[in-house]
Each structure stands twice: as C-alpha cells, then as structure tokens.
Amino acid sequence: MISSYIEILLSCLIFWVTYFFCAKKRQPVYTGFELLLFYFFARVFPVLMLQERTRYHLLCLSAEWVLMALLYYYLSQSKSRKMQHVILGFYLFNPALAVLVLTANIKGICVSVFVLFLLCAADRILEKRQISLLAFWPEYLLFGTGISVLLMAKNNIYGMCMTGLAVAGTVSRLVCLWKNPTQRREAASEEEETVQEPVRGSQRFTGWDFICMAAITLLFAVAVLWKLGSQHTPETFASFRVGNPGENEIVLQFGKETEISDIFIFPGHKGKRIISFSALSVGSTAWEVFDSRHSVESVFCWNRVAVNRSLHSLGMVLMEGDADICEVVCLDRNGQVILPDNSEDYPLLFDEQDLFRNPATYYDGTMFDEVYHGRTAYEFLHELPIYENTHPPLGKSIISIGIALFGMNPFGFRIMCALFGIGMIPLMYLFAHKMFGRTGVSCFASVLLATAFMNTTLSRIATIDILVAFFILGMFYFMYGYTQALQKREPFFKQMLWLFNSGLFMAFAISTKWTGFYGAAGIAILFFVALLQHIGGISKIREHTGYLMKTAGCCVLFFILIPVVIYTLSYLPFPKVYTDKGLIRHMIDNATLMLNYHKDCVFEHPYSSEWYKWLIDARPLADSRVYLENGTVSTVMTFFNPLLCFGGLLAFLHQFYLRREKKCKRAVFLIVGYLSMLLPWLIIHRTIFIYQYFVSGLFLVLMVANSLSYSRHPKRNMAIFSVLSVILYAMYYPVLTGQPVKVSFINQVLELFTTWNIA
C-alpha cells in the first residue's frame, strides 16, 4: 500500500507545485481532458496498484462519482467554467479524499459528502462578502495532508499538528477577511497569456556539431572500453554426465599428504550443477565427504570451493545435471597453484592454468545477469540447448556477434553492449539538437548522459538493458522528428520516413525486451496527439479522410506488420535447436512462458528496490564485488548520478509548470515519454531493480536541458551543471567499472546515503 500512497503524494505534489507557481501571475485553467487525467492518476491508478482489491474500493469510487456530480451541479449554477475546473482540481487533489478511496473507507466518503455541503453553504455566505474560498488553499492543503497522515498512521502526532494548524489558520484568515471585505475573489482573465518558448537556434546540423558530438562520444568510448574485460579465459572444456559410470566423477591424486585450501572451478555454458566433494587421507581407506551438495552456479567465471584440509586424493562427483568444466585449479595453504599428479588423466581440465586469477574480478569472468544473457548468446551461436528464455531473443543474438568475433570471454560477450552504449551518445546529441536546435544544449545533454553513471555500468555488462534502451531512445527520437515534420508541413514521404524509422526501432526494442511495449504506448499517445493537432482536431477528421487513410495504412505496415515479422524472425535460433516446433509456435509458446514467469517472479533479493526508491537513488545494485589486498575492493555498481537523479526529479516537476505557464510543447513530449516508461512498474508486482529505471532516466536528461534552457542564464547554468556532473563521474568512476579503490575512501566519501552499500 505504501507504493500507492507515494503515487498519490507525487500526483498531489505535481498539481500543487504547478498551481502555486502559475497562480502568482494568473489562475491556471484546466481543460476537461486534463481533469480526467488528474482523476485517473489521483484516484483510479492508486487502486490499480494494489495487489489486493475488494468490492469496497469500487464502492468508494462509485460513491465519489456521486459526490463529484453534486459538486459539478453546484458549480454549474454559480461559477464560470474556469472556476469550475479550478475547484474540481482542488477537489481531485485533496490527498485525504484520495486516501479515503484507497483505504475503502466508506464512512469517510459519507462524511466528505456532509463536509461538501457545509463548504457549499459557507461559499454562499462568503460570496456576499466578496471572499473566495480559494483564498484558503494553503489551509485546505495543510488540512487535507494532516487528515491523510492520520488515516495512514492513526494517532500520528504530525497529522494532528497539521490539522490543528490548518484549522487555526483558517479561522485567523477568515476573521481578517471578514473585517476587511475587499474584492479577493481569484478569477482568471478570459484572455490567456501566451508566453513564447526561448528563441531556438538553427536546426541545421553543422560541422561544428559533428566535431562536438564525435569528441564527447570518443571520450565516453574510452571510459567504457577501458579494461572492459579479459580476452584470455579458459575455453577448452571436458563434459561430464550423470548416470554414466566413470563420466560423472573426477579423482585428483597428489601422491603425498597435501594441504589444500581451496579449489576453483571454471564451468562452461551448462548451468547450475550440484557436486559432491570428498577427501581421502594417507593411511585411510574411506572417503570423507566434506561438502555433499555444493552448488556451482556461475558459468564462465571462477567458482570457489573451500577445502581447508590435508588430503591424499580429492574426489568430485557430479550429482545432478550434466556439466561442461573448462578448468580446475587447486591452491595450497600459501595460495599457490598446485597440479595433481594425475593431471594428465584430465588434460582439458589442467591445460589453461596460467589463465587463473586470484582473486578473480569482473575482468576475469561473468557477473550478475551475464550468467544468463552471455551464456545464452553463446548457446545461440553454437546451436546448443537454450537456457535463458525469459526475454525475447534479439538482445542475445546481438551479444553473440561479439562472441563470434572475439571468443567466449568477458571482452567478447561485452563488446556489443559497449558499442550500443557508446552509440547512445551521438543518438542523444541528435535528439537534443532536433528538440532544441542549439549546439550548446546538445552538448550539454550528451555530457549529462555520458556522466549519468548507469549508462557506463550497463554498457560494460553483457545484459540486454542497454540494448533496449538504445532502441527505445531511437524510437522516441524518430517520433519527435515526425511531430516536427507535421508542424513544418513537410511532404508526406518525409513524414512517413520518420514513422518508418520509429516503427523499426520499436520492433527492435520489443524483440529485445518487452519493456519496449511501454515505449510503444508512449509513442502511440504522442502520435495521435500530434496528428489531431495537425488536422485541426477531431471535428476536422472528415475533411482529411484521404490523408488519414494513407497515414493509417503506413502505420499498420510500420507499427504492426513489420514489427511482427521482426519479432518472429528473432526466434530463428530456437527451431535450429528444438526441431519439434516451427518458428511461429516457438514464438507463441515462449510468449506464454515469459508472461507466466514475470507474473510470478517474486523473490527476496538484497538489492531489489521499489519504483519510488529509484526516484531518489535509494538502492544501488551491486553487479560485482571482490575484496582485494591492502584494504581495496573491486566493485561494479548500478545507480544514477545523484545530480541527475535529484535534478531530474525537480526538472520533471518543472515540466508541468512549463506546459501550463509557458505553453512548452517539448515538456508534454518529455512527460509522456518519462511516464510511459515508469508507470507500468507501479502496477507490476514482481521483484524489480534500479536498472529498470534507466530508460526513464534518459528523459530526465532532456528534462534538465529543457528546464535550464528557460533559466535566465542558460549557458552558464548548463556549464556549471556539466562541470559538477563530470566531477561526480570522475569520483565514482572506479566503483562503476570495478577498478580497485580503497574501502575507507568509499565509506568516508562516496557513500552519500546509508542505503548505498557500495563496499
């Protein structure tokens, strides 16, 4: 329920912040459509977020419809349309009323009806003294917040204090206004003031733009590719199978009593395997099992097994599942590599001992979800049984290109993700240049993305998140190009070219990860809004039937037929391995499997975090952490640059002001893009992590640029913001990329919040 409470809080915050700043100049006017959106996000959506909903929630919503109908009837009798919309907005964004619906408090709703009648009666009385109830909006908001706190945490002292202050403030203000009756009714002017956007620079992409874009991209490429991963890891392997005598066991003989501290196993592509470890001492005839069911899970990296005993022979018996083991390394009590006397009996297990690293960091093997995505890419390439099928295949197919070129090593399975992450910088530059038309703003947006922290981490790990982010950014970029083509009334062919590219990137995004559907919903909203504005509204549809029919036909091709074909073709690796089904059947069956998997994917994880924690960088994700000598640690963390995270959150709120006060069309585009990628996570009840906020963070970059472009000194402010972002990036670069850094430095300097468990 706390997630729903926070959504209500943010919705009310957006409304009241926008109202406060806009009301300084004029009364903000809300259209009927905007009020409908407000109602959805302040009432219906929080209820949809609940995991358990009852009929009482629906009953409360129905009762509130009656309440709003009564309010609307009263307003229609005595208020102008503008005042109707303002007062309805006040009603919808009373946090107490939203909490009543969320908690299915029928009694509270009934009391609200009574209070509403009292307010209507008071309004009639105050109207004669030319006093507006809107003058009491601070007390109204404070009172609603206090009641909300009391409802959420009964007997809460803060709620009682806020409620008491609201009542006292209302009485005090009422006495003052009653004694000095003047014209205080806040009425908006019938003529809306139109404030133009800042002057846009030239839309032309110049040679200077290319130089700036290339320079920023090159610097980011150096940061991403620096020590990306080793190109030398064990690759030859021996296969072991359960059920075949002699093929599921390894017996290592050392000739004399030898103290073994640890052994390290580097498994091949086959996944989790259970191994029983036993020891035979000199003079003993019985094997001593010291670890009967050790789970070796991480593929293509060194897995440590503690031994810490003197022995003559070491036995390993595969208990469950087949296994491919690339290398086995034994360490004596001094940490030195020691070869068994019978190593020649297992030539493939002891032929690459020089590749062993202790301690092994991210540089030497897989980390986090690379054990799924990198491994599956290897299986695609070699037509082996497919392990990871919880996401569409395209992302793994892209990763497999790097493996084909450089081998199954950290550099090989990470290089494609690195290239796509690097490619996001010029794409963001083009996006910002298209949106703002200025070289300075484009450079600022590119620098901000390059120093966003998470972009670096996701570019250096072989998972599909950076790939889908690239495609989603591309499809929004091309959709923005389409909206601009409509505004400039460019030829139909150019309009459709923008749409074609948007649809193509959408197809790639969905074929990589289903979060592409969230972006597809966002561009659909933007498309229809832009198209209706272009033709002059719904009433003009008949006048543009021919144009709309041609556009509709192209959209069916670009956004339905082509994506379906690309999505289906992405499953080509499946029938090569599993010949019992055709391509289409594999695609349908896997879609069903993915839906069921993600619906039930709920488990405890120390780095999981709810969506509202993403907004404030509360829970970074540790992809890798290895403690080294001399008090240093190699850690790879996934989180946002706090400057972008908090500055972006303020910029997000500022977009509503820009839309309301400055009539900024860019703000609408960015809000829709941001929310389309964030809102679905509010109603998804599965274990989630902060990296799922990354695509929303791309819009934070453009929001910050948009907000600063409206400031009094945009160039200076962007320069300061950029410098601060670069400084933070330089400070945190080691913990983003796994470079050795002192634990004391992390604890004393880098961990800004207690929830940042970096070291």
pLDDT of 106: 77
Q: Is the pLDDT of residue 188 over 60?
A: no
Among candidate residues 332, 299, 382, 306, the one with its CA nearest the CA of residue 577: 382
- Selection from 677, 266, 624, 626 nearest residue 460 by Cα: 624
Give the pLDDT confidence of 312-321 residue by residue, as tens digits.
889 988 887 7
Among 2.30.40.10, 3.40.50.1980, 2.60.120.260, 3.40.50.150, name the CATH number for the domain at 238-351: 2.60.120.260
What local confidence, expressed as pLDDT, does residue 186 receive? Answer: 40
pLDDT tens-digit map of 313-354: 899 888 877 788 889 999 988 889 999 988 898 999 998 999
pLDDT, position 247: 77
Q: Is the pLDDT of residue 129 over 90?
A: no
Give residue 53's pLDDT: 78
Q: What distance in Å separates the CA atoms of residue 498 and residue 558, rounded to the nearest whole number?
A: 10
- Asked whether residue 555 carries a pLDDT value surpassing 50, the answer given is yes
pLDDT of residue 184: 43
What is the four-CA torsion angle of 547, 550, 556, 558, rounded to 10 degrees?
-100
Q: Which pLDDT belongs to residue 201? A: 46
Amino acid at 671: I
When pLDDT is cut at 50, 70 and 90, the band that residue 553 belongs to is very high
Please tell me the distance from the alpha carbon of residue 327 to that of residue 294, in angstroms, as a whole number: 17
What is the spatial distance between Cα 436 and Cα 443, in angstroms, rounded to a whole number?
11
Give residue 677's pLDDT band: very low, low, confident or very high (50, 70, 90): very high
Phi and psi angles of residue 636, each rounded to the nearest 5 degrees, phi first: -120, 115
Q: Per-residue pLDDT for 192 more than 50?
A: no
Which range, of 67-81, 205-219, 319-333, 567-581, averages the lowest pLDDT?
A: 67-81
The pLDDT confidence band at residue 187, using thresholds 50, 70 and 90, is: very low
The DSSP code for 746 is I
pLDDT, tens digit, 9 for 90 and up, residues 705-726: 999 999 889 999 999 999 999 9
DSSP 681: G
pLDDT digits (tens, 9 = 90+) for 76-121: 766 666 666 677 777 777 777 777 788 877 777 777 777 777 777 7
Mean of pLDDT values over 442-457: 96
pLDDT reported for residue 164: 60
CA distance 346 to 22: 77
Determine the pLDDT at residue 148: 67
Mean pLDDT on 140-156:
65
**Residue 137: which pLDDT band, with cuts at 50, 70 and 90?**
low
196: pLDDT strictly greater than 50: no
The predicted structure's pLDDT at residue 140: 66
Smallest Cα–Cα separation from 693: which of 539, 472, 474, 535? 472
- Cβ atoms 570, 392 nearer than 8 A: yes
Judge whether residue 652 has pLDDT over 50.
yes
With bands split at pLDDT 50, 70 and 90, how would you rate the model's confidence at 642? very high
What is residue 136's predicted lDDT score, i.e. its pLDDT?
Answer: 64
Going by C-alpha positions, the residue among 314, 316, 313 that lies closest to residue 282 is 313
Eight-class DSSP state of 130: T
pLDDT at 695 over 70: yes
Amino acid identity of 186?
E
Angle at 348 between CA 346 and CA 351, to 5 degrees: 105
Asked whether the predicted pLDDT for residue 512 surpasses 70, the reply is: yes
C-alpha triplet 544, 545, 550: angle, nearest 5°: 105
State the pLDDT at residue 641: 95
Separation CA 525–CA 673 (nearest Å): 9
Q: pTM of the prediction?
A: 0.88
Residue 150 predicted with pLDDT over 80:
no
What is the pLDDT, as a whole number, of residue 153? 64
Structure tokens at 112: 């609200």
- State the pLDDT at residue 637: 94
Spatial CB neighbours of 755, under 8 Å, sequence gap ≥ 6: 618, 619
Tell me 606's DSSP state: T
The 3-state DSSP class for residue 658 equals: helix
pLDDT tens digits along 617-638: 999 999 999 999 889 999 999 9
Helix (H) or strand (E) run with residue 293 in it: strand 288-296
Confidence of residue 687 (pLDDT cuts 50, 70, 90): confident
Q: How confident is the model over 123-142, as a mean pLDDT? A: 66
Write out pLDDT tens, residues 352-370: 999 998 888 999 988 888 9
Q: Rounded to whole angstroms, how far apart are CA atoms 398 and 394?
A: 6
- Please say whether the dihedral angle defined by the alpha carbons of residues 723, 724, 727 and 732, taken in this order, is positive or negative: negative
pLDDT digits (tens, 9 = 90+) for 6-21: 888 888 888 777 777 7
pLDDT tens-digit series, residues 458-498: 999 999 999 999 999 999 999 999 999 999 999 999 999 99
d(CA 673, CA 472): 10
Stretch 529-546: mean pLDDT: 88
| pLDDT of amino acid 189 | 38
Residue 468 structure tokens: 């889908």
- Portion of the chain with pLDDT greater than 70, in percent: 86
Whether residue 354 contacts residue 232, with contact meaning beta carbons closer than 8 Å, is answered with no
- The pair of structure tokens assigned to 202 is 């030239």
Task: Report the chain's mean pLDDT, rounded to a whole number.
Answer: 85
**All CATH 2.60.120.260 domain ranges in the chain, comma separated:** 238-351
